[in-house]
Structures are given as structure tokens and as C-alpha cells.
């Protein structure tokens, strides 16, 4: 447990990073908001996570898998995935004490993050106008399921429901009759990323205006925001995109191809790459129906059949070696244990060791950003703290607030 006499800012400020000195009060739970808060914490912000007494963030109970700590209590690996570099304070926001502590935090904060249902924060006594009175420089991030207004603005936001409602599942799967969710809660993750992006923009604008503002996003908005070319297929071309498995809808060959004993992925993003592929495999790049990308897309089943017939006697490693030598982008499909054992993953700082109060040393997926000075010296924060125990920092934070 944290020493209640210690300065709770010391560990976080010592980590450095672009957001060092920024205080974030994180009222969020589950994944969208906590992911946004973790992104801010990875950049050096001090993130104080406010949790419900007794139970804490919902994800503390999401499992299995759980890992038993030295105190006999189970720790959910789900919670560990999205709460590194944070402090935990347990507050009952329906009590006067809880509201008083939150008020004191907000007076000092740069950012408040919340993902309650629209209107909940108002009912707790913290509507936007009151927050602005408490702290005119406060930037507020609000994440909802389907938006804060509109005819369905009050709907609860759960990732898989949002993936379906926002069209993503209709694009994912082996075919039009096989809608599939993405293998991670991508709506939550995207709204967390967009939320952090919006907060950084609001902090930058605050440097000019001296005032904070409210930033809103939702699972719906974040998924629609990454429809990319699939969106314009409908809005501009009038085509309704549907799932078609592991092959790109607008480029061929670009997808997963079977070979002897397995499969490889190939991406021929231009005509030069197509010709390199054909030269390496002894194929005619100008064969009927295959001379241009548009022709190959129209004749995708024939392209797939041709390549898989050619690959039938080649195992994956041999095929990948030949494709690499020919300069054709290609790769394997790795399981997560293979990804985390891969020396390239480790070379990018994508695994970090932290000391957990009850689990000891644990390894977590690391931050995806790196920073460098103009002379090439890496300035990325390399010291990380473990996801906190419930109310681990409560005494220290309360003592710090009383000092000021």
C-alpha cells in the first residue's frame, strides 16, 4: 500500500513525458474512458482514478482470467490491461464527503474524464456550468455510447452492441451472412483514443484562450470515424459494403492465402508489387483478367485460386523468404504468445515490467508511442507503475489535498 505520508505526485512527476505536470481526474470505468486515461498517464500525466468504494471499476471483477495476489485476493487481468500508471481513490460520489474530495481535486485538475450515461454527472451535482465555476481552465472529456443528444442519446454503451449498430460487424466476417465482432473491444478503444486526442487539442487551445471546454465523443462516433473507404463506398458510390473475409475489397491480391501446412498474408498495393510477385513465382502478370488491379478485384476468386495453387507445394517459411527477397510485402498470422515473444515487439518497448503490490513483478503490454530529441536521444518515459489496488492512494491523495 502507498505510504499516506508520501507526496503522491512524486512517482508520477519523476516519470517525465510530454504531459508531466498535468493532473487528470478519471471518473471512468470499464474500457473506453480508462484507456483514454491510460494514454494520458503513459504521456506523463498524473491520473487519479476515482472508483466506487468496495467494488471499484467494473473490470476488477471481469474474468476469468484472474491471478491470485499475495493477499489472497484475485486480480483481473482485464483491469491490468487499461490502468497502468494511475493512482486509485475510492469515493462515494453520492455522499457529501465524496463530493467534497472530488471538488477539491477538480479545483486543481487540468482534465476531468467521465463516461457515465448522459446526465449522470449533472445529477451528482457537477453539471458543466458548475465545473466551469470550480475551475475555468478545466478540460472535460465525456464519452457516451451513442452520443449525448439526438433521439437515442441516452442509450447505454456496450462495445459489441455499438460494433453492430455502427456497421462494423457488417464489414467483418467470412461473408455477408457471417457478421463478426472484432477480437478486441474496438469501439471502446477507439473512443478512448479519440477522447485523448480531443483532450490534447483542448489543452492546446487553452494555451491561447486560458479556458477549458467540454470534449464529447461516443462509441458510435468513433466507429463511424474509422469507416474510411468503406464509408465513402456508400456515401459517394452508393455501394453497401459487406463482409468478405480476409481479402481487401478494393485491392487484389491483398489478403490471406493458403500454402503447404499453413497460410501467409500478401499485400500487393500497386502494380509494381504485382509484377514482382509474378516474376518470383513464374506467373504472367498480364494474363487475361489480371493485368490491372481493377481486373483482379473483379476476378478475385480466380486470383486467389491461381496463387493458392502456386503456393500448394511451398511451406510458409520458404514462401515468406522468397517474397521478402522479391520485395513483396508479406507476413504470417501470429498468436499473441508469438507476438510478445517476437524480438521486434520487444525492441519497440511494447512490453513493460511493473511492480504490483500483491502480484510482484508483472509484464504488461506497453505504450505504443516513442519520443526522441532532435539529436536522436530517446526521451520516452521508461518508468511505469502498476495498475493500482482499489483506494491504494486514497490516504495520500486526501492528505495532499488537505495540505493545499
Residues tagged active-site:
188
> Distance between CA atoms of 314 and 398, rounded to whole angstroms?
65
Q: Give the number of C-alpha atoms closer than 13 A to the C-alpha of residue 266, restricted to the C-beta side.
A: 29
> Distance between CA atoms of 400 and 13, rounded to whole angstroms?
15
Radius of gyration of the chain (CA): 25
Concatenated DSSP letters of 278-329: HHHHT--TTSTT-SSHHHHHHTHHHHHHHHHHHHTT-BHHHHHHHHHHHT--
Burial class of residue 359, CB neighbours in 10 A (0-12, 13-18, 19+): middle
Four-CA torsion 38, 40, 46, 52, nearest 10 degrees: -40
Note the maximum CA span of the chain: 79
Four-CA torsion 384, 389, 394, 396, nearest 10 degrees: -40
Amino acid at each position: 500500500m502507498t505510504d499516506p505520508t508520501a507526496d503522491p505526485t512524486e512517482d508520477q512527476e519523476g516519470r517525465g513525458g510530454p504531459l508531466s505536470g498535468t493532473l487528470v481526474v478519471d471518473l471512468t470505468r470499464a474500457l473506453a474512458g480508462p484507456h483514454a486515461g491510460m494514454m494520458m498517464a503513459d504521456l506523463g500525466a498524473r491520473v487519479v482514478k476515482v472508483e466506487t468504494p468496495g467494488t471499484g471499476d467494473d473490470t476488477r471483477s471481469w474474468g476469468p482470467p484472474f491471478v491470485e495476489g499475495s493477499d489472497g485476493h484475485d486480480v483481473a487481468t482485464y483491469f491490468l490491461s487499461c490502468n497502468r500508471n494511475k493512482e486509485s481513490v475510492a469515493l462515494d460520489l453520492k455522499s457529501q464527503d465524496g463530493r467534497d474530495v472530488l471538488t477539491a481535486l477538480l479545483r486543481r485538475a487540468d482534465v476531468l474524464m467521465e463516461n457515465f450515461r448522459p446526465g449522470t454527472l449533472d445529477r451528482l451535482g457537477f453539471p458543466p456550468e458548475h465545473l466551469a465555476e470550480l475551475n475555468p481552465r478545466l478540460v472535460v472529456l465525456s464519452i457516451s455510447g451513442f452520443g449525448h443528444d439526438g433521439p437515442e442519446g441516452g442509450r447505454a454503451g456496450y462495445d459489441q452492441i455499438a460494433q453492430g449498430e455502427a456497421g462494423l460487424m457488417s464489414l467483418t466476417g467470412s461473408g455477408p451472412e457471417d457478421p463478426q465482432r472484432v477480437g478486441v473491444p474496438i469501439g471502446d478503444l477507439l473512443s478512448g483514443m479519440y477522447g485523448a486526442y480531443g483532450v490534447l487539442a483542448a489543452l492546446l487551445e487553452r494555451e491561447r484562450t486560458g479556458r477549458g471546454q467540454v470534449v464529447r465523443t461516443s462509441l458510435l462516433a468513433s466507429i463511424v470515424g474509422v469507416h474510411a473507404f468503406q464509408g465513402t463506398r456508400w456515401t459517394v458510390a452508393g455501394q453497401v459494403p459487406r463482409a468478405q473475409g480476409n481479402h481487401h475489397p478494393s485491392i487484389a491480391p491483398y489478403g490471406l492465402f493458403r500454402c503447404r501446412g499453413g497460410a501467409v498474408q500478401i499485400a500487393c498495393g500497386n502494380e509494381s508489387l504485382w509484377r514482382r510477385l509474378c516474376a518470383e513465382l513464374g506467373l504472367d502478370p498480364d494474363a487475361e483478367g489480371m493485368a490491372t488491379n481493377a481486373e483482379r478485384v473483379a476476378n478475385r476468386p480466380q486470383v486467389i485460386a491461381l496463387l493458392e495453387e502456386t503456393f500448394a507445394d511451398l511451406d510458409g517459411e520458404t514462401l515468406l523468404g522468397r517474397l521478402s527477397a522479391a520485395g513483396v510485402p508479406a507476413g504470417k498470422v501470429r498468436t499473441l504468445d508469438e507476438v510478445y515473444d517476437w524480438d521486434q515487439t520487444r525492441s519497440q518497448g511494447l512490453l513493460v515490467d511493473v511492480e504490483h503490490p500483491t502480484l510482484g513483478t508483472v509484464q504488461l503490454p506497453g505504450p505504443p508511442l516513442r519520443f526522441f530529441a532532435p539529436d536522436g536521444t530517446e526521451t520516452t518515459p521508461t518508468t511505469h507503475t502498476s495498475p493500482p489496488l482499489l483506494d491504494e492512494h486514497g490516504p495520500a491523495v486526501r492528505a495532499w489535498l488537505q495540505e493545499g
